Structure 1
Amino acid sequence: KRTLVTGCNGQLGHAIRAYAEAHDLQGFEYTDIDTFDFSDPTAYERFDWSLYGTIINAGAYTAVDKAETAEGRPVAWKANAAGPALLARVAKEHHITLVHISSDYVFDGTTEEHTESESFAPLGVYGQTKAAGDIAVANAPEHYILRSSWVIGEGHNFVKTMMNLSNRVADENDALDHVTVVDDQYGRLTFTKDMAEAIFHLLDTHAPYGTYNLTGSGAVRNWAEIAAAVFEQTNGNGDRVKPIATADYFANAKNPVSPRPVHSALDLTKIEQAGYTPADWETSLREYVARELGK
């Protein structure tokens, strides 16, 4: 049976395609919003769903601050809640396994480490839409929800931004002398390569359906610490990252800002018990930066 991948041009979509091609997996179809807008009920009519065994939903609206605006809010609800509900309905009707990606933003971040069974308590619009999507997807009996945090992949992301800023700070012709990064949000990075591996592990081993936390393993750090590590590896200028409180960082923001959970670390016991051992994210980060430096 075929596997349909949505959001194929996003960070995770790229990683899923890379995994499928590296392992010579057949029967994969890759779609993005232009070829299959899964939040549009009429878009489902052109598929013969009896041919599909799996849907991997890698499509989402992830602009957390823009989701707080009049323009962003309806788009976020459509992509993150209404769309997954339609996918869940078709999955349920046709006995399709639905894989969906969740976020640490479904929690308020008051607990230091979140288990899969913690109650939803999202702080902002993005988190609300993701929680609604999770609730909808859980209505499909054959579902895997992978909950991640702080995702890093091929596209535009925090690590690449910090590498660029490190280069600017190192450049004596550039006036930029240091950067400020928040030090009161704690978590672990998730690399899309590991997410793709974990998805295929759950599918291949027929793990029990349900929700699984999936991030890198290892120490819990704040964003300023991560930035300093990237600066240090890129140009040996980790000391040019200055920590700042989130409230101060956004104090003069002109546009709406989503509240951030303080604690984003996810408990990894369940996915480890399912036989998947997430890589240490600090090791993955060093490898990632080294790869980027080598390009």
Structure 2
Amino acid sequence: MVAAELSVTGTEIPGLLMVQLPVHGDERGWFKENWQREKMVAAGLPDFGPVQNNISFNAAVGTTRGIHAEPWDKYISVATGKIFGAWVDLRAGAGFGTLVTAQISPGQAVFVPRGVGNAFQTLEPDTAYTYLVNDHWSARAQEQYTFLNLADPTVAVPWPIGLDQAVLSDKDRAHPALETVTPMDPAPIIILGANGQLGRALISHCQDHAIPHLGFDRTSWDLTAPHAWPTPALQGARAVINAAAHTQVDDAETPEGRPQAWAANATAVTALAAACRAAGVPLAHVSTDYVFDGTLPVDQAYSTDAPVSPVSVYGQSKAAGEAAAATVPRHWIVRTSWVIGDGHNFVATMARLAATGVDPTVVDDQHGRLTFTPDLAQALIHLITTEAPTGTYHYTCDGPAVTWHQIAQWVYSDAGHDPARITPISTAEYTATRPGQAPRPTNSTLDLTSARDAGLALSDLRSRLTAWLDSSPHTSS
């Protein structure tokens, strides 16, 4: 027997993929690699993280099952025999009701995404097929199933064996017609830290783009209290975005703040990663330029694979959190810098000082780029919805690295004030009068190659700042 090449092809239903499997046979029988993660992901299958393997045996020809749409992804192949498969898109959207059919034998497999109904009719006796799923079955999960009648006249599946001659269950006979089926919404994205600057931007982005989501703030999901987490919400979730953290950099250097920073940024992330692994849910984790010591020459940028070497408690705790997040099989660690949102921040402070006639001193020897929370929110959602490769990403505005002093000058200039009112000062001079300051990286510039490769939208820093300042709510005191 000559084995076919492994290949993956799309269908009329987005995400429904047909797989050609190499089958090696001789007089003894045959052998195939039913699921080989590295090869199949390289060929085009999603890295969907299966957690359960099921086998369905069907004794009689004409045994028909379905049409069931489950709240998880499935990878299905035949172990022995042959089946006729029918798949109907039961997800909300323009493709609702689209039908795809195919015959499946041991040399083929199919990847069925969440919300696509699948049904099978056996064409040979003693047919068995196996399917991998990326969530554990539970009664709660079964409540989210969507069903379609096998004989629905609108979809009109061309069954090889008429349903009046087929073997099927009473439950399958009683499924509803397409016109009464409630489409399945995409799985929700869980957003932790929903009341923070980034969390609010994430919620806003999901609302604006009709992306199902569940937001949790500290009162409903306290990262430092894993025993009280509403972990059932993880089952069936599309992903978790951890936008919660202890970000008070100077406070983290105090005896009181140090354990709080480690609890939120490291210990809690370790527990969160374990919960995501158990539920089979991807994790997007937000990190920081503070995981680097900032000693790289200021004309260079930190790559994603540069060794971490934090010099502050905050940076150390965040580096530990990264290591924990990386244990989730499907994860995206997104490092960012100099975050500006709709709350208290450097840009808002400079705009207020300009308007009130204050002439501040601002450090001029720390280099980096700003990141605006709506942009970062869009980037995080993009990684999840496009199922970007697992790994570490850097995301900030684009353009040359600048100093805080330069940014302050831009704010004053855009507000119609004289930028010469701002006095430059070195970090050493600034901290000499402010004891207890955490060490800051001199160079916070992150290399953005990973963001570009993932197709993330990158804004020019200078023009993005002007656009932000033109939106007055962001610069209110």
TM-score scaled by structure 2?
Answer: 0.58
Q: 1:18 to 1:273 in 2, by over 3 A?
A: same
Picking from 188, 192, 195, the partner of 2:373 is: 192
Determine the structure 2 residue equivalent to 1:3: 189
Question: C-alpha distance in 1, partners of 2:207/2:466?
Answer: 25
Picking from 451, 467, 472, the partner of 1:271 is: 451
Say if 2:466 is the partner of 1:286. yes
Question: C-alpha distance in 2, partners of 1:144/1:291?
Answer: 31
Say if 2:264 is the partner of 1:79. yes
Question: C-alpha distance in 2, partners of 1:45/1:22?
Answer: 26
Q: What percentage of residue pairs aligned between the two structures are identical? A: 42
Q: Is the 8 A contact 2:221 2:230 kept in 1?
A: no
Q: Is the 8 A contact 1:216 1:279 kept in 2?
A: yes
In the alignment, residue 5 of structure 1 is paired with which amino acid?
I
Deviation at 1:93, TM superposition (A): 1.2
Q: 1:29 to 1:277 in 2, by over 3 A?
A: closer
Say if 2:303 is the partner of 1:115. yes
Deviation at 1:207, TM superposition (A): 0.9
Q: 1:246 to 1:50 in 2, by over 3 A?
A: same
Deviation at 1:44, TM superposition (A): 2.9
SS at match of 2:238: strand
Q: Which runs of 5+ in 1 are unaligned?
A: 170-175
Determine the structure 2 residue equivalent to 1:172: none
SS at match of 2:221: coil
Picking from 203, 217, 221, the partner of 1:32 is: 217
Listed as ranges, the matches of 1:165-204 within 5 Å are 165-169=353-357, 176=358, 178-204=359-385
Q: Is the 8 A contact 1:53 1:95 kept in 2?
A: no
Q: Is the 8 A contact 2:231 2:275 kept in 1?
A: no
Picking from 46, 49, 57, the partner of 2:234 is: 49
**CA offsets 1:248-284 (integer angstroms, 9 cap, x no match):** 0111224x11000000000001110111231112111
Deviation at 1:143, TM superposition (A): 0.5
Deviation at 1:46, TM superposition (A): 5.4
Picking from 349, 356, 375, the partner of 1:161 is: 349
Determine the structure 2 residue equivalent to 1:152: 340
SS at match of 1:212: strand
In the alignment, residue 146 of structure 1 is paired with which amino acid?
V
Determine the structure 1 residue equivalent to 2:11: none
**CA offsets 1:176-230 (integer angstroms, 9 cap, x no match):** 4x21000000000001111011111111211101110000001110000000110
In the alignment, residue 267 of structure 1 is paired with which amino acid?
D
Determine the structure 2 residue equivalent to 1:90: 275
* Structure with greater helix share of residues: 1
Question: C-alpha distance in 1, partners of 2:314/2:199?
Answer: 20
Say if 2:407 is the partner of 1:226. yes
Q: Is the 8 A contact 1:191 1:281 kept in 2?
A: no
Question: C-alpha distance in 1, partners of 2:234/2:193?
Answer: 18
TM-score scaled by structure 1?
Answer: 0.94
Deviation at 1:48, TM superposition (A): 4.7
In the alignment, residue 311 of structure 2 is paired with which amino acid?
L
Count of residue pairs brought into register by the alignment: 286
Q: 1:267 to 1:33 in 2, by over 3 A?
A: same
In the alignment, residue 210 of structure 2 is paired with which amino acid?
D
Q: 1:179 to 1:41 in 2, by over 3 A?
A: same
In the alignment, residue 258 of structure 1 is paired with which amino acid?
A
Determine the structure 2 residue equivalent to 1:245: 426
Q: Is the 8 A contact 1:167 1:235 kept in 2?
A: no
Deviation at 1:45, TM superposition (A): 5.5
* Structure with greater strand share of residues: 2
Q: 1:150 to 1:48 in 2, by over 3 A?
A: closer
**CA offsets 1:62-109 (integer angstroms, 9 cap, x no match):** 110010001111111111111111111011111101011010000001
Q: Is the 8 A contact 2:243 2:286 kept in 1?
A: yes
RMSD between aligned residues:
1.4
Determine the structure 2 residue equivalent to 1:126: 314
Question: C-alpha distance in 2, partners of 1:213/1:224?
Answer: 23
Deviation at 1:49, TM superposition (A): 3.0
Q: 1:260 to 1:46 in 2, by over 3 A?
A: closer
In the alignment, residue 47 of structure 1 is paired with which amino acid?
P
Deviates more, 1:232-241 or 1:148-157: 232-241
Question: C-alpha distance in 2, partners of 1:167/1:21?
Answer: 33
Determine the structure 2 residue equivalent to 1:19: 205
Deviates more, 1:36-45 or 1:216-225: 36-45
In the alignment, residue 416 of structure 2 is paired with which amino acid?
N
In the alignment, residue 223 of structure 2 is paired with which amino acid?
F
Question: C-alpha distance in 1, partners of 2:405/2:247?
Answer: 21
In the alignment, residue 253 of structure 1 is paired with which amino acid?
R
Q: Is the 8 A contact 1:101 1:147 kept in 2?
A: yes
Question: C-alpha distance in 2, partners of 1:179/1:41?
Answer: 43
Determine the structure 2 residue equivalent to 1:173: none
Say if 2:279 is the partner of 1:99. no
Question: C-alpha distance in 2, partners of 1:46/1:260?
Answer: 36
Picking from 126, 142, 154, the partner of 2:330 is: 142
**CA offsets 1:157-179 (integer angstroms, 9 cap, x no match):** 0000000111122xxxxxx4x21
Q: 1:212 to 1:156 in 2, by over 3 A?
A: same
Question: C-alpha distance in 1, partners of 2:340/2:316?
Answer: 22
Determine the structure 1 residue equivalent to 2:131: none
Deviates more, 1:231-240 or 1:153-162: 231-240
